[in-house]
Every structure is written in structure tokens, then in C-alpha cells.
Structure 1
Amino acid sequence: MANKENPSYFLWERFKNGDDDAFYRIYDQYFNELYSYALNFSKDQDFIKDCIHDLFLNLYKYRKTLSSTDNIQYYLLRSLRRLLHKEGTKRNTLLHDEQLLHLNDTPVVSLEDEIIADETKKENFKALADVMKKLTKKQREALSLKFEHNLSYPQIADTLNISVESARTMIYRTLKELRKAIKKGKTSNSILLFFMLRNRI
């Protein structure tokens, strides 16, 4: 049930009730985040932008029939994911796991950049990057949802259509592999601290 005391709830209700300013505020606030998330599924920038625009057009068109929410981010991410799959199947632009594994700029590049921002040793960066490229599409998406979009485990599970326990296990095992890839010392400690603070585990 939506928390009616949450500011996001009131913003969403204003939009549903025809407030165009609320609509543009939602668009401006979440476009970049939606774009970043969509990179998990396609590298076609025009396709991604088209899907995001279609999403907002549909929201605007059917705003009076939309359900209430106090988590606009979660609502939009789930809606965009469905639309990307639907349109991607039609246009054959979704990337397969094996293709993603060979891309240097994986969907979690921003996460990698944040983790290693203070690191200067090339060998440590390479170790982390190599592991990132070996992750499955779903593992990278789970990390993106958790670290870049700060979704809860139940929300991640719902988005990926898996159980909450599976979501926890997937992220835990993935982080474990990342830790193994980093050498002991300053780099290892800083990365571990980053994950502990962001993941609360």
C-alpha cells in the first residue's frame, strides 16, 4: 500500500490528476536514471530514448487509470523494463548474454568507475573489469538495480521475476567473486567498504 505521507506519492497523484508541471518534473528527474538502466538491455541509444519517450507518452495518455505509488523510481523502472523487452523483441535490438560478455563498456561501468575512483594500480582495475565482463546479464542488472538505483531486495526480485532469496544470493555471490578478483591491501579494503556501505551486508 502506498505511503500517503511520502512526497513522491503527492507528486504522482498531482500528475495523475492532470498537473503537467508534475509530469515534466517526473520526466526531468528520472530520465537519466531510466536511460542508464536501459543500457542493461541495449546499446542502441536511439532505441532507448524512443522507449523512454514512449513510456512517458503512455503514462500521460493513461494517467487517470494509473495505480497509486509512493515509489516513482520503482514504478518507472519496472514499466520501462517491460517496454524494452516488448519493443526489443519486435526490433531485435536486445543484446544476448554472450554479446554483453564481449563488450568493454558493460552496463555496470558506472559502478566500476565509482568503485575504483581512488585506485591507481592498473592490475587491480583489470582484475575487476575482467570479472565484470564475465558476469551474466542478470547479475549485472541485479547490481545495477541495487547500487545504481538503490532498489530493495523485494523490488529487485519482483523486477527480475525471481524470489527475494534468489536476489540476495545472486548479489552476495557476485560480490564475493568481485572481492576475490581484487588483491589484498588498500584496494581490497576500499572496495569492501564501498559494498558494505551501499549494500548494508
Structure 2
Amino acid sequence: MIVNDDYELLEDLREGSAEAFLEIYQLHHQRLFSFANKYLQDEDLAEDAVHDTFLKLWEIRSRVNPMLPIINYLYRIVRNFALKALKKKQEQQWIKKSLSEDVPTQCCVHTTYLEKENRSLFNQAVNMLSSQRQRVFRLCRQEGLTYQEAATQLKISPYTIKEHMSLAMRFVQTYIKQNS
């Protein structure tokens, strides 16, 4: 018994139909955008999450079960991308905050000097990381790759990337606090 109204559309998608993909995109884009925007409170990030969701759908199209509503897959995927974006945003805010802590803003020249000093401390800390951890840190933080993209590029597990990033972030923060 077929319980999904989009059965034929999903069958076409599984076979690689760009028209079916476009129709699914048009049917669900706005709802997914609204959903992602509720999480992220940022329209640009929400739009990125939705686009990543549809890219992921295209990549996994052969595994989509046409008997089930596609919207369930899409909500789960967009939620995961939104949560990743939130985590990345929080990590970036944390880095900015740790670099700017205890910097007096009374004098522009003095502030500029301290900003350069903090940037220098940050670079020193990154340079003290092991070569693999440095590569991971630079790919994820400075080039903006996701953990999955960095893992693919370095041919290691995303979990290894996550561990390297966690240890690198902790080391950089500790180094800056101890040396500033």
C-alpha cells in the first residue's frame, strides 16, 4: 500500500531526474527556509542550510524511500545543517571573544597594538600545534571547510577532525590566556 502522494516524483528522483528534483525543491524550499531560519535567526545561514540540504538530497537520492514522505528526510537534514551552522557560529564567536578579552578600548593606538599582540599570540599558538592539527585547524577555521570536507581532503575520519579541532581550540585558548 502506497502512503505517499509523491511516490512517482520520488521514483523519478531516485532515477536521477533533474525535473523531479526541481519540483521537490520548489515544493519544499520555503518551508525548509522558514524552519532553518527559526533555528539560526540569520537568513543567509538559513539559505545556506537549505541549499546544503538539497545538495545532500541529490547525493542520497538513490537511497530515498519513495513510500515515505520526502519532507521528513528534508526536515532532518536541514535541522542537522542548521545545528552545525550554529555550532560553527558559536565557535567563531568564542575565538573572537578570546582574542579580544581584556583589551582596553580607551586609546586607539594602544588598542591596535594589543590587537596585533593578540593576533601574534594566536598565530604563535597555532604554529605550536602538531603539523596535522595545524592543517586541520587552518582548513576548518581559516579556510572555512566543514569537518566533513576537511576529512575528505585529508583522508581521515570526521571524528578525527572533530577531536583535532577540540584539542586545538583548547590549546589556543589556554596559550593566549597564559601569555597575554
TM bucket (normalised to shorter chain) is 0.3 to 0.5
User: Which structure has more helix as a fraction of its residues?
Assistant: 2
Which one has a bigger Cα radius of gyration? 2
TM-score, scaled relative to structure 1: 0.41
